[in-house]
Structure 1
Amino acid sequence: MLASYTSSLFPIILAAWVAAKLEKWFERKLPASLRLFFVPLFTILVTGVLTFLLVGPVLTEASSLLADATMWIYNLSPVIAGVVLGGLWQLIVIFGLHYAFIPVLINNITTLQYDPVNAILSASVFAQVGAALGVFLKSRNAKVRSIAGPAAISAFMGVTEPAIYGISLPYKKPFVMAGIAGAVGGGITAAMSATMFGFGGGGIFAAPMFINPAGLDNSFYAYVIASAVAVVIATVLTYLFGFKDKQETPAAAPVSSGTSSTAPAAGTKTQVYNSIQGTIIPLSEVPDEAFASGAMGSGYAVIPSDNKVYAPFDGTVVTVANSKHAVAIVSEDGVELLIHMGINTVKLKGAPFELKVQENDAVKKGQLLAIVDWSMIRDNQFEVTTPVIVTNTAEHESVELKADRSREAKTGELVLSIR
């Protein structure tokens, strides 16, 4: 049976990851004359087959096992099942593992005329309301508030995707806080023996489903109490522990000169240390308009005098160019830095570059990233000047050049302070 991926995220991420690996493999194996047409064709074809014939059945089996385990826990202890399901339900949906629960819910309604399992899940929706509301109340960033406020309203109406994908997952901690709140709400729902008497909308529109045809009973009161508790707990936890506002930054941040220093300035977000021994020059002197204009971001450039390239800070390698001429690293504070070794050296197809890292590697400041044959680059009439660019400059208040310009700088010297 093929699984539907509606409302799920990670099956698509897995498919994209497989497609990226396949694309690189086909790029290496196919002749250049065939790549333009056949690389995307084969990539999509193989990825599609694998996604539907492998990922689908695996998810189906995993969701079935999860549903069976959940019902076993519910029969053992409804409250424990309420805590587990209420806390993990949104995560289960994201992974696309929720489909096996649907036959269970339908069977309960058709045979028993009520369902206790779906009742538990309602609290997780209101937990997302609280997570988004907590961010809205805590943030002073107009852009964040413009997302969080409507997301909270949308979740209250039963549509949680804006809250999950716009707030909870991007900021991570609100998702955890919503899980805690959902667990508490689910536990309350189960402890009060609440049931739903039909299928309908989520959020506030689920309320009629908790009304017993014979009259109001514990189910409706449990819905009201659990929903309110989930909202309050998620809001308070997110406000206090789950979100730290970032300063709203202008659209651009120019590089300004400064004196050389090795001491971090107060309020500095990230320190960038020189990656390549050589002469520091401003980007405006780089013989390539894309870098010199600042269109790719602020930073500096080095005319190298040594063949080794080192990590400028602790972080993770997020991109390695297929032609090995460029490496992108993101710091632990979220600064994205591109080290572009030479100008137009992509045309050399990786020949001068010996990389010591690969994508997703964690690196420490001063760790060797690459060894470069600058002589080969010069012999092929390419420029060796190496721009070092903060590619997400717009997200920062300032990018300040700390090294003296037009002088020899050793590796490990402080060159940029980013706020």
Structure 2
Amino acid sequence: MSKNERLAKEILQLVGGEENVNSLVHCATRLRFGLKDKSKANKAKLEKTDGVITVKESGGQFQVVVGNNVPEVYAEIGKISNITKDSKHAAAKDSGEKGNFLGKAVDVVSSIFAPLLGLMAGAGILKGLLLIAVNFGWLVNTDTTYTILYAAADAMFYFLPVLLAITTARKFGGNIFVAVTIAGALLYPSIVALKATPPEGGIHFFSIPVTMMSYSSTVVPIILSIFVMSKLDIYFNKKIHESVKNFVTPLLLLVIMLPLTLLVFGPIGVNAGNAVAKAMVAAFAFNPILAGAIMGASWQLLVMFGIHWGLVPVFINNIAVHGKDGVKPAATASVFAQTGAMVGVMLKTKNKKLKTLAGSAAITGLFGITEPGIYGVTLPLKKPFIAGIIGAAIGGGIIGYAGTNAFASGAPGLLTLPIFYGPGGQGFTGLIIGIVVAFLVSAGLTYVLGFEDPVEEEITAPETGKAASSEQIASPITGKVVNLSDVSDPVFASESMGKGIAIEPSVGRVVSPVNGVVTVAFKTKHAIGLVSEQGAEILIHVGIDTVQLDGKYFTSHVKQGDKVSVGDLLVEFDIEKIKQAGYEVTTPVIVTNSSIYTEVTAARQGDIGEKEPILILDIHTKESIA
């Protein structure tokens, strides 16, 4: 089992299982869950899970930050569940959680745009490179080579309403194919021609005047349209008979929604988007230094809470309407400032683990992925994060003063710098100066101001008050010893939960393998956790996937907090009935804190009885790791 497969399974389990998930999308570094009941998610355990950087709740979403490998983890979740499939399950249904308007709005915008980020960045970089090639005379914009490459770069933006129709329909549970057809109709040649050359007497739909708009690269109109379409789709499918709804519902949606979009949603959406964009452009025109400083200083704060998504439509709208955007460039200073703070930490710290973490986070930060460094380095240390905000404000002010513009979309970072290179390179030099200053100021402030450097961690024996020594674990079950790698459940087999052994039981009894305390007594009775007097943490999991039996065929004899001795009866279970229900009874016996031991080895193979030695644990001592 790969690391991503294991992480996907653990995350899905800790958010409450597939049945607790309404929706899931991902952005550059995080899985954004819409949960039915957030109380079912184990946030504390998720944050301690290997591979999870942090967990945030913002904008109505339960966000699990995993870093650069988020697409792979997302894909693995899709393999073991139906969450990511284009089905009604993938749509965000009403979880019963009201939330505030801002939270809901952020959730909607992020769910719609997050799946397009990778493509948007790639297409934006290509657009930027083509601009540079034309400015330096390497290509001529009338060459067929340029035409072909520009089509590849610009098609995503021109047909953006079609892509947004897909993600919006997924978000609200509408028919994706109908949604794409509506978006396609807005870009249909004859509709485009009506806007370019309207007929004499104007454009009408059954005598109702139609105000034609240009819909290529637009955002708001299609989102409004598909939101309403999705609601109608759900309503019609409930009311129309099964025998005809498969074609009657799409017919009604097409007949209703395209005219409604052209008459209402199009003009409202385009004008609203233009108004917001003009307001932000006006702010930069009024005082570009102050506006740039505010944007630079606040960008990472907006990203942390996920509310930066509210600005994404503004950036796209500016580029679509004006061919450029002067708001976004200042945000680039924030990315390089936090990266500079990470470098400052790397140079200052004496903690080897932190130095390695800060260095690797700085590399990803240069390419626009700052979350690992923020959550893992600068924010926990506090002062470096503040230094990053100061550096970003200074750099953002310089970029605002330079009048830098973005000419294509893409997440700010080293690779996307070409999107800021316009005709004649105007403002590009100012951008470079701004991000260099932001980086150096943040790194310098971090180094000079310092921070509370974490003490290098030592591996120590369990806190038992006793000298570290080898420990012997007794068999909790009578049966046959099986190698853990042979267990059918990959989480156990991969030792991701810890090292140990498994037993094929011949008697339906579980007894205590140690003298210690019951730390976990599952309500489903299929598993039990203990800690020995010497500190070994033991998990006994009766069967595979037997949690689904919900306690049926199990009888528990202990509760959490009970003190037990070797041989005390913990659980009884009916082997035959569990097998008849379709479940394996192979029982893993796991040492969940096996990382503190030099070795966890099987004491024997073959048949074994209760209380006979099954595992030998060799414990680290301070001398052994010196």
TM-score (norm 2): 0.35
Q: Kindly indicate whether residue 230 of structure 2 is the aligned counterpart of residue 230 of structure 1.
A: no
Q: Kindly indicate whether residue 308 of structure 2 is the aligned counterpart of residue 98 of structure 1.
A: yes
The 5 A counterparts of 1:8-27 are 19-20=38-39
- Which residue does the alignment assign to 1:292? 533
SS of equivalent residue, structure 1 residue 290: strand
Q: Kindly indicate whether residue 428 of structure 2 is the aligned counterpart of residue 220 of structure 1.
A: yes
Cα shift at 1:133 = 0.5
- Which residue does the alignment assign to 1:87? 297
Superposed CA offset, 1:275-314 (max 9, x none):
xxxxxxxxx9977872511236xxxxxxxxxxxxxxxxxx
For 1:121 and 1:173, how far apart are their aligned partners in 2?
20
The 5 A counterparts of 1:250-269 are 250-253=458-461
Work out the percentage of aligned pairs sharing the same amino acid.
33
Superposed CA offset, 1:375-413 (max 9, x none):
xxxxxxxxxxxxxxxxx9x99xxxxxxxxxxxxxxxxxx
- Which residue does the alignment assign to 1:365? none
Q: Kindly indicate whether residue 92 of structure 2 is the aligned counterpart of residue 58 of structure 1.
A: no
Q: Is the 8 A contact 2:391 2:439 kept in 1?
A: yes
Note the aligned Cα RMSD (angstroms). Answer: 4.8
C-alpha spacing 1:254/1:106, structure 2 compared with 1 (3 Å): closer
C-alpha spacing 1:172/1:49, structure 2 compared with 1 (3 Å): farther
Q: Is the 8 A contact 2:36 2:96 kept in 1?
A: no
Structure 1 stretches lacking a partner, 5+ long:
24-44, 258-283, 297-343, 349-391, 396-419
Which of the residues 162, 182, 192 maps onto 2:402?
192
C-alpha spacing 1:137/1:158, structure 2 compared with 1 (3 Å): same
Which of the residues 363, 366, 371 maps onto 1:156?
366
Q: Is the 8 A contact 2:36 2:95 kept in 1?
A: no
For 1:73 and 1:237, how far apart are their aligned partners in 2?
29
Structure 2 stretches lacking a partner, 5+ long:
1-22, 43-88, 110-272, 466-513, 519-529, 538-557, 563-592, 597-626
Q: Is the 8 A contact 2:331 2:412 kept in 1?
A: no
Which of the residues 426, 431, 451 maps onto 1:243?
451
C-alpha spacing 1:175/1:224, structure 2 compared with 1 (3 Å): same
| Partner AA of 2:447 in structure 1 | Y
| Partner AA of 1:95 in structure 2 | F
Q: Which has the higher contact order (CA 8 A, sep 6+)?
A: 1
Superposed CA offset, 1:186-216 (max 9, x none):
1111112221222245322232222222x23
For 1:10 and 1:68, how far apart are their aligned partners in 2?
33
Cα shift at 1:77 = 2.4
C-alpha spacing 1:201/1:49, structure 2 compared with 1 (3 Å): closer
Q: Is the 8 A contact 1:3 1:60 kept in 2?
A: no
- Which residue does the alignment assign to 1:171? 381
C-alpha spacing 1:155/1:255, structure 2 compared with 1 (3 Å): closer
- Which residue does the alignment assign to 2:560? 346
Superposed CA offset, 1:235-292 (max 9, x none):
12222335321221221156698xxxxxxxxxxxxxxxxxxxxxxxxxx997787251
Q: Is the 8 A contact 1:11 1:55 kept in 2?
A: no
The 5 A counterparts of 1:402-413 are none
Q: Is the 8 A contact 1:152 1:163 kept in 2?
A: yes
Cα shift at 1:76 = 3.9
Q: Is the 8 A contact 1:67 1:101 kept in 2?
A: no
For 1:61 and 1:197, how far apart are their aligned partners in 2?
27
Cα shift at 1:162 = 2.4
- Which residue does the alignment assign to 2:27? 6
| Partner AA of 2:425 in structure 1 | L
- Which residue does the alignment assign to 2:327? 117
C-alpha spacing 1:112/1:237, structure 2 compared with 1 (3 Å): same
Cα shift at 1:135 = 1.2
Q: Is the 8 A contact 1:5 1:96 kept in 2?
A: no
For 1:104 and 1:237, how far apart are their aligned partners in 2?
33
Cα shift at 1:51 = 5.9
| Partner AA of 2:403 in structure 1 | S
TM-score (norm 1): 0.51
Superposed CA offset, 1:58-86 (max 9, x none):
33546899989855643542222211111
Q: Kindly indicate whether residue 143 of structure 2 is the aligned counterpart of residue 143 of structure 1.
A: no
For 2:533 and 2:460, how far apart are their aligned partners in 1?
15
| Partner AA of 2:454 in structure 1 | K
Cα shift at 1:16 = 7.2
Cα shift at 1:163 = 1.7
Cα shift at 1:149 = 0.7
Cα shift at 1:159 = 2.2
For 1:66 and 1:8, how far apart are their aligned partners in 2?
28
C-alpha spacing 1:53/1:80, structure 2 compared with 1 (3 Å): farther
For 1:69 and 1:292, how far apart are their aligned partners in 2?
66
C-alpha spacing 1:9/1:191, structure 2 compared with 1 (3 Å): same
The 5 A counterparts of 1:62-81 are 73-81=283-291
| Partner AA of 1:248 in structure 2 | E
| Partner AA of 2:103 in structure 1 | L
For 2:288 and 2:279, how far apart are their aligned partners in 1?
13
SS of equivalent residue, structure 1 residue 110: helix
Cα shift at 1:172 = 3.4
Q: Is the 8 A contact 2:296 2:333 kept in 1?
A: yes
For 1:347 and 1:152, how far apart are their aligned partners in 2?
45
Superposed CA offset, 1:308-337 (max 9, x none):
xxxxxxxxxxxxxxxxxxxxxxxxxxxxxx
For 2:517 and 2:25, how far apart are their aligned partners in 1?
51
For 2:328 and 2:41, how far apart are their aligned partners in 1?
40
For 2:24 and 2:279, how far apart are their aligned partners in 1?
20
| Partner AA of 2:534 in structure 1 | S
In the alignment of these two chains, the number of paired residues is 265
Q: Is the 8 A contact 1:199 1:209 kept in 2?
A: yes
C-alpha spacing 1:8/1:74, structure 2 compared with 1 (3 Å): farther
Q: Is the 8 A contact 1:9 1:95 kept in 2?
A: no
For 1:17 and 1:243, how far apart are their aligned partners in 2?
40
Cα shift at 1:53 = 7.5
| Partner AA of 1:128 in structure 2 | Q
- Which residue does the alignment assign to 2:341? 131
Superposed CA offset, 1:318-377 (max 9, x none):
xxxxxxxxxxxxxxxxxxxxxxxxxx76379xxxxxxxxxxxxxxxxxxxxxxxxxxxxx
Q: Is the 8 A contact 2:402 2:431 kept in 1?
A: no
For 2:457 and 2:381, how far apart are their aligned partners in 1?
18
For 1:16 and 1:242, how far apart are their aligned partners in 2?
40
| Partner AA of 1:59 in structure 2 | G
Q: Kindly indicate whether residue 416 of structure 2 is the aligned counterpart of residue 202 of structure 1.
A: no
For 1:22 and 1:199, how far apart are their aligned partners in 2?
35
For 1:290 and 1:75, how far apart are their aligned partners in 2?
65
Cα shift at 1:22 = 9.2
The 5 A counterparts of 1:366-377 are none
Q: Is the 8 A contact 2:318 2:325 kept in 1?
A: yes
Give the number of the structure whose alpha-carbon radius of gyration is greater: 2
For 2:408 and 2:96, how far apart are their aligned partners in 1?
32
Q: Is the 8 A contact 1:11 1:96 kept in 2?
A: no
For 1:52 and 1:112, how far apart are their aligned partners in 2?
41
For 1:54 and 1:231, how far apart are their aligned partners in 2?
41
